[in-house]
Amino acid sequence: MTFSATNNQPQDTAEARSYNRIRRRLTIADMVLNFAFLIVLLATGINSTFRDWSYRASGQHYTLAVFYYVLILLVVSKILGFGLDYYGFRVEHQFQLSNQKLKSWLWDEAKGWLVGLVIATILVELIYGTIRIAPLKWWLIAWAIYNGLAIFFAQIAPVVLFPLFYKFDPLNDDELKQRLVKLSENAGTRVRGVYEWKLSEKSKKANAALAGLGATRRIILADTLLENYSPDEIEAVLAHELGHHVHKHIVKSIVLQVGISFVGFWVVAQGLAYAVDREMFLSLHDFASLPLLVLMTTVMSFLLMPVMNAYSRQKEREADRYCFKSIAKIAPFITSMNKLADQNLSERQPSRIVEVWFHSHPPVSKRIAAAEAWVREHPAKA
């Protein structure tokens, strides 16, 4: 392992640089493919052909036709993107980060696609249903229901969605459990349990999280973390997660999302009305316009990506500072960051443009530098 000339932190290995470069290219390729798919649908009129097929298959039943339309789009999209998905699966094995067998991966892909179908169907039926009922104020009604659903899914995710893909067992280490529960109580949050996340069945990476909202809030610790990290290091990792609660990041993120989605729904409504006025679609509730709505949403999300990443990195820095205050010594935080970077092949020192566009967390090198600076200001934490 080599070290930077300006500090004692290890530099990125050639393997880590290669892995992250490939993952970024896959992300960009996936974005380009999805964008191109939407453009082709709209430019060629295939979206209208799919609409006509859906109506015939449903016997002219509108709600059922909407479902068939969503189904067709998701089937075609999955077929087009399957090659990239499979390459991503192979990349994880190439860099020895995955334990998952092909059969298990295919099953997860199928489950993920089905979950996506259910959620997409709910959202699309919601949008076009409100357009039919309230064509002038549909976007406002849909916006309110959308945010309610987002909070609902965030709440049920740990007990309904996560177990579809991973196994969770109550943590058997009573001493560590009590230590983490006390840490959470000191942070002013009540957790409904501490669970071991059987991540090693599929991945060699490590992670931990404070998942859920309200009655479903729980601590989840990957078994790969429990096996390779000391109790002090695990406490440091969780203290960071609790920092998000202390700084009310979840509430702030919900408020921000509500504001952004308000603007987003309004922009989409204006774009849809403009397209209908120019007779691109049969009517305002013509669900052949769905690719246009998704395209506008995709463009807005892309343009907002650097801003949202910057906001996320700021929240992560605040959570780190809470961690520094709440743990006895800073050393376990630094060693846990180094271990996570090595185990997950994270980039310690990405370029500035990569950080701005792709990183929702500060680079490991900056997080460790902040921890070292904290020790210099608070020698008792050394």
- Check: CB of residue 31 under 8 Å from CB of residue 302: yes
Q: What is the pLDDT of residues 133-186, one digit of tens each?
A: 999 999 999 999 999 999 999 889 998 999 999 999 999 999 999 999 898 888
| Whole-angstrom distance, CA of residue 357 vs CA of residue 304 | 10
Q: What is the pLDDT of residues 13-71, one digit of tens each?
A: 999 999 999 999 999 999 999 999 999 999 999 999 999 999 999 999 999 999 999 99
| Whole-angstrom distance, CA of residue 250 vs CA of residue 216 | 14
Which residue stretches of 45-163 are H helix?
A: 46-58, 62-94, 102-133, 138-156
Element at 221 (helix H, strand E):
strand 218-222
| Whole-angstrom distance, CA of residue 206 vs CA of residue 195 | 14
Residue of 71, 81, 41 lying closest to 281 (CA atoms): 41
What is the model's pLDDT at position 6?
40
Phi and psi at residue 222, in whole multiples of 5°? -65, 140
In a domain, 30, yes or no: yes
In a domain, 223, yes or no: no
- Strands 194-197 and 168-170, how do they pair? antiparallel
| Whole-angstrom distance, CA of residue 26 vs CA of residue 95 | 15
- Check: CB of residue 330 under 8 Å from CB of residue 346: no
| Whole-angstrom distance, CA of residue 379 vs CA of residue 184 | 25
- Check: CB of residue 245 under 8 Å from CB of residue 187: yes
| Whole-angstrom distance, CA of residue 66 vs CA of residue 285 | 10
Residues 272-298 as b or e (16 or more Cβ within 10 Å = b): beebbeeebbeebbbbbbbbbbbbbbe
What is the model's pLDDT at position 211?
85
| Whole-angstrom distance, CA of residue 138 vs CA of residue 126 | 10
In a domain, 42, yes or no: yes
In a domain, 229, yes or no: no
What is the model's pLDDT at position 307?
95
- How many CA atoms within 13 Å lie on the side-chain side of 340? 23
Structure tokens at 332: 């376990």
Structure tokens at 343: 């185990």
In a domain, 56, yes or no: yes
What is the model's pLDDT at position 95?
97
Give pLDDT < 70 ranges for the chain.
1-8
Long-range pairs of 270-278 with CB within 8 A, sequence gap ≥ 24 = 271/296
In a domain, 324, yes or no: yes
Residue type, 88: G
In a domain, 188, yes or no: no
What is the model's pLDDT at position 8?
62
In DSSP terms, which residues pair with 380 in a beta bridge? none
Provide the domain limits for residue 331.
14-167+245-381
In a domain, 179, yes or no: no
Domain count, the chain: 1
- Residue 302, number of CB atoms within 10 A of its CB: 12
